[in-house]
């Protein structure tokens, strides 16, 4: 069975290490599996008044639809001040509106976490910070593996391609394990 995974990077930066890692993942997906990258660049700041007056913005509705039709989701989260970046939390918060849509968008959906940082701890605290959020949304979090990429500035060449052999192997293992989990969830 063909599997479609949606991937979201939590960084808006042009040279983002997290976006690079997700692009590397896209090139290394197991057979019969596609990783579609979605951007959070055009998501406005959440404001209840805006929601009440106009509903969810079109880009939020598109992202919700992309999640709702995906077999699984990969979130590649930077770490800011030992937690997740506000832009990514904001996007997820918007996608959880209206709350009645949460089961269709997130409920039971297989989700894997990964992240890259120039620092030494590989976004472990950001990944932990996501846990209560994922629980609140009712996703099916893959706990069989998680990928942390410390000192990630040295993993890519000048064109942004993953060149580090150890990370290449870890990323492939992570993706194989996650896709197995997605297949078992069906």
Q: Which of residues 43, 88, 92, 117 is near ligand FNR by CB under 6 A?
A: 117
| Contact status, residue 73 vs residue 6, Cβ threshold 8 Å | yes
Q: Which of residues 3, 7, 16, 73 is near ligand FNR by CB under 6 A?
A: 16
User: Which residues, at least 6 apart from 136, have a Cβ–Cβ distance to it below 8 Å?
Assistant: none
Binding status of residue 39 toward ligand FNR by CB under 6 A: no
Encoded one letter per residue, x for contact with ligand FNR by CB under 6 A and - for no contact, window 45-64 reads --------------------
Q: Which stretch binds ligand FNR (CB under 6 A): 74-82, 139-147, 156-164, 165-173?
A: 74-82
Binding status of residue 82 toward ligand FNR by CB under 6 A: yes
Binding status of residue 22 toward ligand FNR by CB under 6 A: no
Closer residue to ligand FNR (CB): 16 or 96: 16
- Chain-centroid distance of CA 47 in Å reads 23
Angle, CA 47 vertex, CA 13 and CA 37 arms, to 5°: 35
Look up residue 76 and give its DSSP letter.
E
């Amino acid at each position: 069975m063909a599997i479609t995974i949606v991937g979201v990077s939590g960084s808006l930066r042009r040279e983002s290490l997290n976006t690079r890692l997700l692009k590397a993942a896209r090139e290394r997906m197991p057979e019969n599996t596609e990783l579609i990258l979605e951007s959070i660049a055009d998501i406005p700041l959440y404001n209840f008044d805006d929601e009440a007056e106009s509903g969810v913005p079109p880009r939020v509705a598109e992202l919700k639809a992309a999640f709702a039709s995906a077999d699984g989701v990969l979130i590649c989260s930077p770490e800011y001040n030992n937690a997740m970046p506000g832009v990514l939390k904001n996007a997820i918060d918007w996608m959880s509106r209206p709350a009645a849509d949460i089961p269709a968008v997130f409920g039971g959906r297989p989700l894997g976490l990964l992240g890259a940082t120039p620092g030494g701890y590989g976004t472990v605290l950001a990944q932990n910070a996501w846990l209560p959020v994922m629980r609140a949304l009712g996703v099916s979090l893959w706990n069989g593996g998680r990928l942390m990429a410390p000192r990630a500035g040295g993993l890519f060449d000048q064109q942004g391609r993953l060149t580090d052999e150890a990370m290449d192997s870890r990323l492939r293992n992570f993706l194989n394990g996650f896709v197995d989990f997605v297949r078992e969830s069906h």
